[in-house]
């Protein structure tokens, strides 16, 4: 059974801090790893990492994928209160377009 | 495109009542997914369809839950009879057949069963 574990469960930082969120996985026939941000509504897509793209960057957010050690990290630099959200990691594997989601990391950024 | 559309956005019902949640996927997407999210269990996949055909319903909690996709632009998730433990946010998501698996989520339906 595919498995995705995220850590830490929750994190409280102050504006300007840098945070690192972790995602480890066990999945059959790995195809991709996705990061989503969830505020009060539905998850919104941040990054997709695959065998052909193991590092992504967008503004203050960046992510890397280590296929050998089976993990990914999401870095957020110079955090802002608007970064407060639940960050979800999901892995695509076994069949179809199914994603297996981790439990999420709840990030709170204080002013 | 309007994105994935779900209705209703909020539903409050009493235990034992039938509940029907609706979803319209993004036009042209051939995969549709139903998820349930709770504080205790996080985001769980209930069932998914490919080209309107149910592929994997192993996440459906029990026989009280059923899902249909009569055509490419509409799906329903039905709970009959509903129980308080069904209270959760139910998301619908859709995607293209795509090696990279990106799914687009609807706004969700917050269900409260009293």
**Interface check B97 vs A, CB under 8 A:** yes
Highest-scoring range by mean pLDDT, A68-72, A97-101, B85-89: B85-89
Label residues A7-44 b or e (16+ Cβ within 10 Å = b).
Answer: eeeebebeeeeebebebbbebeebbbbbbbbbeeebbe
Angle at CA of residue B41, ends B66 and A46, nearest 5°: 95
Which residue of B48, B102, B104 is in closest CB contact with A48?
A: B102
* pLDDT confidence band for A96 (50 / 70 / 90): low
* pLDDT confidence band for B1 (50 / 70 / 90): low
| Per-residue pLDDT tens digits for B22-73 | 999 999 999 999 999 998 888 999 999 999 999 988 889 889 999 999 999 9
Q: A103 vs chain B: nearest CA distance in angstroms?
A: 5
**Short-list A42, A97, A86, A31, CA closest to B92:** A42
Look at residue B38 in the predicted model and tell me its pLDDT. 93
Tell me which chain B residue has its CA closest to the CA of residue A32. B100
Look at residue A2 in the predicted model and tell me its pLDDT. 84
* pLDDT confidence band for A51 (50 / 70 / 90): confident
**Interface check A35 vs B, CB under 8 A:** no
User: In the predicted model, what is the mean pLDDT of residues A26-40?
Assistant: 90
| Per-residue pLDDT tens digits for B80-113 | 999 999 999 999 999 987 766 789 999 999 999 9
Question: What is d(CA A107, CA B36) in angstroms, rounded to the nearest whole number?
Answer: 21
**Which residues of chain A are within 8 Å of residue B59 when distances are taken between CB atoms?**
none
Residue A95 has pLDDT above 70, yes or no: no
Mean of per-residue pLDDT scores for chain A: 91
């Amino acid at each position: 059974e595919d498995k995705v574990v995220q850590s830490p469960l929750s994190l409280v930082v102050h504006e300007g801090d840098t945070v690192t969120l972790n995602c480890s996985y066990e999945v059959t026939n790995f195809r991709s790893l996705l990061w989503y941000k969830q505020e009060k509504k539905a998850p919104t897509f941040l990054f997709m990492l695959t065998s052909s793209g193991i590092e992504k960057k967008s503004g203050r957010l960046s992510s890397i994928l280590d296929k050998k050690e089976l993990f990914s990290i999401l870095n957020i630099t110079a955090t802002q209160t608007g970064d407060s959200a639940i960050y979800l990691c999901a892995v695509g594997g076994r069949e179809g377009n199914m994603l297996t989601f981790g439990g999420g990391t709840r990030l709170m950024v204080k002013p | 495109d309007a994105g994935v559309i779900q209705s209703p956005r909020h539903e409050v019902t009493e235990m034992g009542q039938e509940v029907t949640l609706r979803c319209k996927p993004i036009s042209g997407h051939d995969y549709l997914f139903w998820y349930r999210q709770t504080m205790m269990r996080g985001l769980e996949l209930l069932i998914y369809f490919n080209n309107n055909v149910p592929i994997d319903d192993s996440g459906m909690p029990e026989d009280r839950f059923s899902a249909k996709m009569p055509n490419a632009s509409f799906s329903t998730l039905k709970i009959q009879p509903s129980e308080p433990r069904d209270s959760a946010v139910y998301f619908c998501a859709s995607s293209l057949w795509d090696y990279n698996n990106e799914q687009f989520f609807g706004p969700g339906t917050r269900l409260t069963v009293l």
